[in-house]
A and B are shown apart, each in its own frame.
Chain A
Amino acid sequence: MGAFSYFPQTGEDIRTMLERIGVASLEDLYADVPADFIYKGEYDLPSALSEQQVRDFFEGLAAKNTRLKVFVGQGAYDHYTPAVIPYITSRSEFLTAYTPYQCEISQGTLRYIFEWQTMICRLTGLDCANASMYDGPTAAAEAVRMCVASTKKRKSVIVSARLLPHVIDTIQTYAKYAGINVVVSDNVAEDVAEGVLDLAGVIVPSINRFGIIESHLGLADLVHRMGALLVEYCDPSALAVVKSPAEWGADIAVGDGQSLGIPLCFGGPYVGFMACTSALMRKLPGRIVGQTTDASGKRCYVLTLQAREQHIRREKATSNICSNESLMALWCTVYLSLMGPEGMRKLNALCYEGSHYLHDALLATGKFKRFFADGEFLKEFCLTPLCDVAKLQQALLDAGYFAALQTEEGFVTFCVTEKYGRADLDRIVEIVKSI
């Protein structure tokens, strides 16, 4: 086998190094490993590919995927990605850096995280935010843990049944092993008022899984009277136009940054965000960046409040999270910088316009019944089907559309972003009529 482009050592280099170490061969460096454990077989892997071959291989796999226009949300939203973002995030100074432990040569990373924390605070209206979580669902699970940690011996949480299924599943997974009691509730306000023993927290969606923007009027007061904390799960893109968690009185806001221009990418990498009131600042999990000055008085940024974290606090840490999704936080930060307040308003107006146009046109086909008794929606909505859903879904797929995903109750969901215009919406309506 010839030389390999990622290994720079020549045969002579290897000899020089072995000589300095005082061993005869590379194998001798493993003399302390019991001989039975040295793998002597041939690894069951393909023969090494060249760069061209590896590219061809993945192009072959890519061809087995079907490119679809996406009209489904359910926690992953197909918004347009401005060209600037991948250009910036692929700069190797950002891409190939580790966690910014050495702040003197990591001011780039630290600065954008500080900007991200600021933007998350401005979207949620809350006081402080962390550097990121793995994704929205894990951020929700960590928020639940934070409620339990902040209310001392209380171990129960009420989780709205109108949160997305994958969010509820993740919360339940984390809770199961931590001994947290999860009550999935169809009527949160009623269940809180009835009084759940040792209630630590309540988690509700800003926009629920049916697309309805929820009103949480009076809920925070009720939850706080019970001595618990209120968590809101939000779509950060929508937060530019819908009432913020702070305005509803929430203590913690979490959600997935994916809707801020991150590609769908079969579910990841995305980025979770988490913000809270200043009272809870020291209970936040994960990395946090703070502003300070250097010895000469220059403004600079550092990882701070690290005594909460696993590398110092070990089993008493607020969380086990170490690596997060830093580069995806940069992705969102660049996105929000480009969009600004007016861009975010306009984007949401386009979503609103498209989704309401499609909603009304689909109802007019007679193939669906209205789902919403009341309540407003922004980009995602549900309808009650009066037609054969499997047949409808297949006809849409055949025409290149991913739409009309069915919920567990049998409703069908649609989501319209700014990405596709009237022509596609009309085409979808035509397909529906033909069923």
Chain B
Amino acid sequence: MSKIADGLLYSESHEWVKVDGNVAIIGVSDFAQAEMGDITYVELPDVDDDVTAGEDFGALESVKTSSELIAPVSGKVVARNDALEDQPELINEDAYAAWIIKVEMSDESELDALLNAADYAKTIE
């Protein structure tokens, strides 16, 4: 049974969002990391790149699979978790501690389309 952290918003493509003012902190759910298995590489965007809700902004790789990271909201990347470059396993260890990027949102109403923890739990049952 995978862990679902309360108080976060989720996308159906298994990204989580923590809202901090107009900045969205984005990671992937525990369910997503479990499905991937040992993550071997995280392809990150650069700071200042624009991301668009519903489009990919990077990818997770494991030995036998890969998964696109889909932006839950649109905006500009203001930070990325460089520790993941050398230690992709941080996501396997704690998917909710290992944030991937921080995005300055251009349209906060996009958050309305995301799921709360309870609704997300239903999608992965």
Residues in A lying within 8 Å of B, measured CB to CB: 282, 305-307, 312-313, 316
- CB neighbours of A282 from chain B (8 A): 41, 43
Q: Besides the contacts A282-B41, A306-B63, what 7 more A-B pairs have beta carbons closer than 8 Å?
A: A282-B43, A307-B40, A307-B41, A307-B63, A307-B65, A307-B66, A316-B66
Which B residues lie within 8 Å of A305 (CB)? 41
CA distance A237 to B28 in the complex (A): 48
Q: Quick one: given A282-B41, A282-B43, are A307 and B68 in contact (CB under 8 Å)?
A: no
1/0 per residue B57-89: CB within 8 Å of A?
001011111101000000000000000000000
Residues of A near B64 (CB, < 8 A) are 306, 312
User: What residues of chain A lie closer than 8 Å to B61, measured between beta carbons?
Assistant: 307
A306 and B66 CA atoms in complex are apart in Å by 9
The CB with the most chain A CB atoms within 10 A, among B40, B59, B61, B64, is that of B61
CB distance from B55 to the nearest CB of A (A): 12
List of A residues within 8 angstroms of B62 by Cβ: 307
The residue of chain A having its C-beta at the shortest distance from the C-beta of B67 within the complex is A307
Complex Cα spacing A305 to B43, Å: 12
| Residues from chain A with Cβ under 8 Å of B63 in the complex | 306-307
By beta carbon, the residue of chain A nearest B46 is A152
Which residue of the partner chain, among B40, B41, B66, contacts A313 with CB atoms under 8 Å? B66
> Contact at A312–B41, with CB atoms within 8 Å?
no
The answer on a CB contact under 8 Å between A316 and B68 is: yes
Q: Chain B residue with minimal CB distance to A282?
A: B41
Residues of B within 8 A of A307 (CB): 40-41, 59, 61-63, 65-66
CB-CB under 8 A from B43, the residues of chain A are 282
Task: Give the residue among A282, A305, A307 with the most B Cβ atoms within 10 A.
Answer: A307
Smallest Cβ distance from A44 to chain B, in angstroms?
45
C-alpha gap A316/B65 in the complex (Å) = 12
Shortest Cβ gap from B79 to chain A (Å): 19
Closest to B62 in A: A307
Residue in B41, B62, B64, B66 whose Cβ sees the most chain A Cβ within 10 Å:
B66
Which residues of chain A have C-beta atoms less than 8 A from B66's C-beta?
A: 307, 312-313, 316
When C-beta atoms are compared, the residue in chain A nearest to B61 turns out to be A307
Give Cα distance in the complex from A312 to B63, angstroms.
10
List of B residues within 8 angstroms of A313 by Cβ: 66
**Complex formed: what's the CA distance from A305 to B61 in Å?**
9
Q: How far is the CA of A282 from the CA of B59 in the complex (A)?
A: 12
> Could you say which residues of chain B place their CB within 8 Å of the CB of A306?
63-64
The 4 closest A-B pairs by CB, nearest first: A307-B61, A307-B66, A312-B66, A313-B66
Complex formed: what's the CA distance from A41 to B62 in Å? 51
- Smallest Cβ distance from A292 to chain B, in angstroms? 11
**1/0 contact string of B15-35 vs chain A (CB within 8 Å):** 000000000000000000000
A307 to B41: give the CA distance in the assembly, Å: 9
B63 to chain A, nearest CB (A): 7
Q: Shortest Cβ distance from B33 into chain A, in angstroms? A: 15
Q: How far is the CB of B42 from chain A (nearest CB, A)?
A: 11
Q: In the complex, A312→B64 CA distance in Å?
A: 7
User: With a CB–CB cut-off of 8 A, which chain A residues contact B68?
Assistant: 316
Distance in Å from the Cβ of A413 to the closest Cβ of chain B?
Answer: 45
Min Cβ gap B66→A in Å is: 4
- Which B residues are CB-close (under 8 A) to A312? 64-66
Nearest Cβ on chain B to A59's Cβ, whole angstroms: 49
Could you pull out 14 A-B pairs where Cβ atoms are within 8 angstroms?
A: A282-B41, A282-B43, A305-B41, A306-B63, A307-B41, A307-B59, A307-B61, A307-B63, A307-B65, A307-B66, A312-B64, A313-B66, A316-B59, A316-B68
Of chain A, the residue at the smallest CB distance from B45 is: A152
B60 nearest CB across to chain A (Å): 9
| Chain A residue at minimum C-beta to C-beta distance from B56 | A316
Inter-chain CA distance A339–B43, complex, in Å, is 41
Per the bound structure, the CA–CA distance linking A306 and B61 in Å amounts to 9
Least Cβ–Cβ distance between A9 and chain B, in angstroms = 36
- Rounded to whole angstroms, the CA-CA distance of A313 and B61 in the bound complex is 10
Give the nearest-CB partner of A317 in chain B.
Answer: B66
Give the complex CA separation of A312 and B59 in angstroms. 12
Complex-state Cα separation, A251 to B68, whole angstroms: 27
Considering the complex, give the chain B residue whose CB is closest to the CB of A302: B63
Q: With the chains together, A316 CA to B64 CA distance in Å?
A: 15
Give the distance to chain B from A149, nearest Cβ to Cβ, in Å: 12
Bound complex: CA A307 to CA B68 (Å):
11
A282 to B58, CA, bound (A): 13
Closest to B65 in A: A312
A307 to B64, CA, bound (A): 7
Complex Cα–Cα for A305 and B65 (A): 10
A103 to chain B, nearest CB (A): 12
Expressed in whole angstroms, the Cα–Cα distance for A305 and B64 within the complex equals 9
**In the complex, what's the smallest C-beta–C-beta distance from B10 to chain A, in angstroms?**
23
